[in-house]
Amino acid sequence: MDYLKLKEFLIMTELNSLTIKQAKEGLIKREFSSFDLTEACLAQIEKVDKKINAFIKPIAPTYDDVVSAARKADKLLSSNQDLPLLGIPIAVKDNFSTMGIRTTASSKVLDDYIPPYDATVVKKLKDAGAVLIGKTNMDAWAHGSSTETSDYGSTKNPWNTKHLPGGSSGGSAAAVAADEAIAAIGSETAGSIRQPASWCGVVGLKPTYGRVSRYGVIAMASSLDSPGPITKTVEDSALLLRVLAGTDEFDATTSLPPVGDYTLPVVDNKIKNLKIGISDEYFIDGIDKEVESAVRLSIEKLEKMGAKIVKINLVKPKYATSVYTIIQRSEVSSNLARYDGVRFGKDRKLFGEEAKRRIVLGTYSLSSGYYNQYYNRAAKARSLIVNDFEKAFEKVNVILGPTSPSLPLHAGASENAAMFGEIADILVEPSSIAGLPGINIPIGFSKSMLPIGMQIIGRQFAEDLVLQVAHQYEMATANENWRKKRPNL
């Protein structure tokens, strides 16, 4: 191999590690093509995905379809078309309907389902010029926080394949951490974006409920499901949210407030004098000492940057877990009722154990004689949690705390643990129940080189402020050594 070819090869092999912003700049400057960028991601998938299983197999769309989309993007780029994601390879969680492309929600019940339409999120990505590079693995029906309940094999954590990536968007988080895609889309019901983002060391943004359309997403819990981006940087999450957010005539739960320009230039002193709320209730008994230490050091850093740290009292997260369990199971039982092997999907015998447990508990909670005792009472308690956050935001601008109480757990930890998801997501469930926006940002690693994340929560529709605070922290730590670490695959 001569020097020029070697140089070209080295450039190609690094393209998959770019951020959306870096990739856009390179494409505009003609430093490389969308084909080059896409090929680099496909080569990385071929190289490492047998180890981490981030994508549903066989990978769809096909290689030819992906390359065709990249070639089309290159033609548009050559004619100076300006689209937000033109030529950028992005992975999508497999519970988003993709027209003509198999969509399984990681369940054998939908093993051969080919949607006749695109989810609104997918359509917006395509309209913005993105290249759909593959559908990512997940907990079946999004039931879980480990990606071990998938009927297509569990996903492994790129930082240590003996550990879990979290879930249910574990495939999306792992794909971004392993540089198999420039970015990915996940969905969160009560932690399914932020928790796997924390365990995989990437950025995960859960928008306000209704900020992003659920149309075309295979429903888990309809009053909670929130699609959102998983990225390498906060700035990339802002860019993706700008594309995805907005009202949708096909989803009556989408919100009316206008979409902000989340990609506005960051003001250097934005965090100065900002009131950041810290609740001791979120440093629960049993929290990993390394997680607590890293988060408290990050709080100190924000204080040195000019933020005002304000102690607040929030309802203990364990109560949100009780509320979530009843509401989520009830809505699961309703949503999965349509998959009867006659109207939709294959035989119900193919439901996994987790799905069966949730259907049974949800049906019981909604049954005659028990509705008021369980579901109705949970709905009332949910309102109290919403009010609790509203009172807190009268005193502070954002709330900060650990994303997960633990480091990524060992593979197999979710087996025979019926409440694994609720325990793993205990610190993110309250804000999800309240419909609030929240973001996970990486803040370092444990001694065993496992990622640690921190969450920032805002009032409803305060995504712009949440993103600003997260980005300020990201910039302040940009040169720290831990930022340079990459998974060794």
Distance in angstroms (rounded) separating the CA atoms of residues 404 and 424: 6
What mean pLDDT is predicted for residues 377-405?
97
Closest CA to 52 of 202, 156, 147, 176: 156
pLDDT at 8: 53
pLDDT at 342: 86
What mean pLDDT is predicted for residues 311-336?
94
What mean pLDDT is predicted for residues 221-226?
95
pLDDT at 296: 98
Q: Which of 138-152, 155-169, 348-362, 424-438 has the lowest mean pLDDT?
A: 348-362
CB 207 within 8 A of CB 189: no
What is the separation of C-alpha 258 from the centre of its chain, rounded to a whole number of angstroms? 23
Q: Which residue among 146, 150, 168, 432 is the active-site one?
A: 168
pLDDT at 2: 45
Structure confidence by residue, pLDDT tens digits, 44-93: 999 999 999 999 999 999 999 999 999 999 999 999 999 999 999 999 99
Distance in angstroms (rounded) separating the CA atoms of residues 24 and 18: 9
Q: Is the pLDDT of residue 212 over 50?
A: yes
Strand pairing report for 308-312 and 275-279: parallel
Closest CA to 217 of 345, 105, 336: 105
Distance in angstroms (rounded) separating the CA atoms of residues 290 and 294: 6
Closest CA to 102 of 87, 114, 89: 114
**Hey, which CATH number is domain 3-484, 3.40.50.300, 3.90.1150.10, 3.90.1300.10, 2.60.34.10?**
3.90.1300.10
pLDDT at 4: 45
CB 120 within 8 A of CB 215: yes
Q: Which residue among 146, 192, 226, 330 is the active-site one?
A: 192
Q: Which residue among 24, 34, 93, 198 is the active-site one?
A: 93
pLDDT at 16: 97
Distance in angstroms (rounded) separating the CA atoms of residues 299 and 120: 37
The token pair at 94 is 């497999």
Give me the percent of the chain exceeding a pLDDT of 70. Answer: 96
Distance in angstroms (rounded) separating the CA atoms of residues 173 and 139: 13
Q: Please, what is the end-to-end C-alpha distance for the chain in angstroms? A: 25
Q: Is the pLDDT of residue 266 over 60?
A: no
Burial (0-12, 13-18, 19+ Cβ within 10 Å), 417: middle
Structure confidence by residue, pLDDT tens digits, 332-390: 999 999 998 888 899 999 999 999 999 999 998 988 888 888 999 999 999 999 999 99
* β strands within 344-437, DSSP E: 398-402
Query: Has 168 been annotated as catalytic?
Result: yes
Structure confidence by residue, pLDDT tens digits, 408-431: 999 999 887 777 878 889 999 999
Q: Is the pLDDT of residue 11 over 70?
A: no
Distance in angstroms (rounded) separating the CA atoms of residues 306 and 220: 41
Domain edges within the chain: 3-484
The token pair at 197 is 């983002």
Q: Return all residues near 51 (Cβ < 8 A) that are at least 6 apart.
A: 156, 161, 489
Structure confidence by residue, pLDDT tens digits, 88-130: 999 999 999 999 999 999 999 999 999 999 999 999 999 999 9
